[in-house]
Structure 1
Amino acid sequence: MLNTFFKPLPSPAGSSRIIYPGLSSTACSAMYRARQTRTVIRKSAVLVCLFYLKAEIMIIKNRAGK
């Protein structure tokens, strides 16, 4: 992966983008989009897990109430 060969430079103030020296802007934006996609997938997975846990808790409460 490119991250092992290129060390990121500190981003300019107020910018959340990481600058990789020697890479084209297309490659940098592709890496940025991939990182954003992984973040969205991770957040979605967390929400699914929380929903599942909430459902399990409701089932346990219903069983205890009977």
Structure 2
Amino acid sequence: MAEEIIEVTISPKGKVEVHLRGIAGMGCVEETRELFALLGDDVESQELTPEAFAEVSQEQQNRLWS
């Protein structure tokens, strides 16, 4: 299993960036929900990486072959 890493960077102006690695599928959204709540739930933007869609694609493939 890959190591799961959540990297938080806070700029001198207070901008917070969160980057996740090693979390496949939409689990990344759940993994960061509490963190975002602690930071005030003020999410300016969110970009999902190809890793986020890995699990979804597999589920779709399974439905096609079932």
If each structure's helix is expressed as a fraction of its own residues, which one has the higher value? 1
TM over 0.5: no
**Which TM class, normalised by the smaller chain length?**
0.3 to 0.5
After TM superposition, the score normalised by the length of structure 1 is 0.33
Larger Rg: 1
If each structure's strand is expressed as a fraction of its own residues, which one has the higher value? 2
After TM superposition, the score normalised by the length of structure 2 is 0.33
Relative contact order (alpha carbons < 8 A, sep ≥ 6): 1 or 2 greater?
2
